[in-house]
Amino acid sequence: MFIPLHDQNSLKHIRLQYVTLLIIAANVVIFLFTGTPALVAVDQANSIHLSFGFIPAVVNDYAVLPPSHALLPEQASYVTYAFFHAGFMHLVGNMLFLWVFGDNVEDAMGHFRFLLFYIACAIAGAWTHSFTFPESQAPLIGASGAAAGVIGAYLVLHPKVKIWVLAFGRIPLRLSALWVLTAWIGFQVFSYLAPGDTAVSFAAHIGGFFIGAILVIFMRKRGVPLWDRNLATQPSPAEPVAADDLSPHSWGRPEN
C-alpha cells in the first residue's frame, strides 16, 4: 500500500543508531547464508526454517520437531524466527521499514532499551500468531512482527513528521506519519479479518504494532515527548527565530 522511503526526522539524543544498523546487518547476513538460492538449496532452506522458525504447534505441544531439527529450546524460536526470511523481497520490505523508522525509536529509548524493545515486539508478534493459529505446523519467519512494533512506537512518538512514500509502489507522496502508519495498521487489521487463506501472518503484525505502541510510553528516555508535542512549541518557518533559540515451502511458511 505504502512503501516508506525517507523521513526528515533528525536524531536528538544519540549520534548513531547502531543497534538498528546491527539488526539490519544480522538479517542480511543470515539471509545470505540461509536463503540465497545460489548458496542454499530449497530443501536446505526449508530445513533451516523448521529449526529456527516459530511453529505454534510445537511451542503449544501439539507437535514435536524431529530430533534433527530440534537445535534450540522451543522458546528460543519466539526470537530466532525474526532473523530469517523467505525471499529477497521479504527481507527488503522488512528492512526498509526498520531503516526508515528504527533510528528515531532507538533515539527515543537509547541503545540497550531499544534492543530489549525490539525483542519484546518480536515475541509479541509470535505470541499473537500462536494465539490465532495455535495448532499451525507451518514455521513463521520474518522480522515484520518486530518491525511492526517499531512502526507503532514511531506513530506514538512522531505522528506529525512528514514521510516520503511510494503509494501503491509507484506514486511518490509526502504525507504525515499519522496518515501513513494509521493506514498501514488499518490494512493489517482489515486483512486479518478478511476471509481466506494467506501466507502472510497479519496477526503477528498487529500484535507487534500494539505492543510497540504501548511499550514506547514506558521505555522512552525521560523527557522525550509523545505525539510530537514539542513541535507545537516550535516556530513555523515564516516566523522569526531569536538568536537564543538556535531527528519448508511445503509447510507453507507464513511470512510476517
Q: What would the pLDDT profile of 87-121 be if each residue is shown by its tens digit?
A: 999 999 999 999 999 999 999 999 999 999 999 99
- Asked whether residue 247 carries a pLDDT value surpassing 70, the answer given is no
Lowest mean per-residue pLDDT among 169-183, 186-200, 240-254? 240-254
Looking at the domain assignment, is residue 244 inside a domain?
no
Lowest mean per-residue pLDDT among 76-90, 197-211, 222-236? 222-236
pLDDT at 189: 96
pLDDT at 232: 53
Looking at the domain assignment, is residue 180 inside a domain?
yes
Contact 11, 103 (CB under 8 A): yes
Stretch 49-69: mean pLDDT, rounded? 95
Looking at the domain assignment, is residue 140 inside a domain?
yes
Looking at the domain assignment, is residue 189 inside a domain?
yes
pLDDT at 256: 72
* Residue 244: pLDDT band with limits 50, 70, 90: very low
Proportion of the chain above pLDDT 90, given as a percent: 79
- Asked whether residue 80 carries a pLDDT value surpassing 70, the answer given is yes
pLDDT at 199: 84
- Asked whether residue 126 carries a pLDDT value surpassing 90, the answer given is yes
Looking at the domain assignment, is residue 237 inside a domain?
no
* Residue 249: pLDDT band with limits 50, 70, 90: very low
Looking at the domain assignment, is residue 235 inside a domain?
no
Task: Please tell me the total count of domains within the chain.
Answer: 1
C-alpha cell belonging to residue 152: 507503532
Mean pLDDT estimate for the chain:
90
Looking at the domain assignment, is residue 250 inside a domain?
no
SS3 labels along the chain: CEEEEEECCCCCCCCCCHHHHHHHHHHHHHHHHHCCCCCCCHHHHHHHHHHHCECHHHHCCCCCCCCCCCCCCHHHHHHHHHHCCCCHHHHHHHHHHHHHHHHHHHHHHCHHHHHHHHHHHHHHHHHHHHHHCCCCCCCEECCHHHHHHHHHHHHHHCCCCEEEEEECCCEEEEEEHHHHHHHHHHHHHHHHHCCCCCCECHHHHHHHHHHHHHHHHHHCCCCCCCCCHHHHHCCCCCCCCCHHHCCCHHHCCCEC
Owning domain of residue 149: 2-224
Q: Tell me the pLDDT tens digit for each residue of 131-176.
A: 999 999 999 999 999 999 999 999 999 999 999 999 877 889 999 9
Looking at the domain assignment, is residue 249 inside a domain?
no
Give me the CATH number covering residue 191: 1.20.1540.10
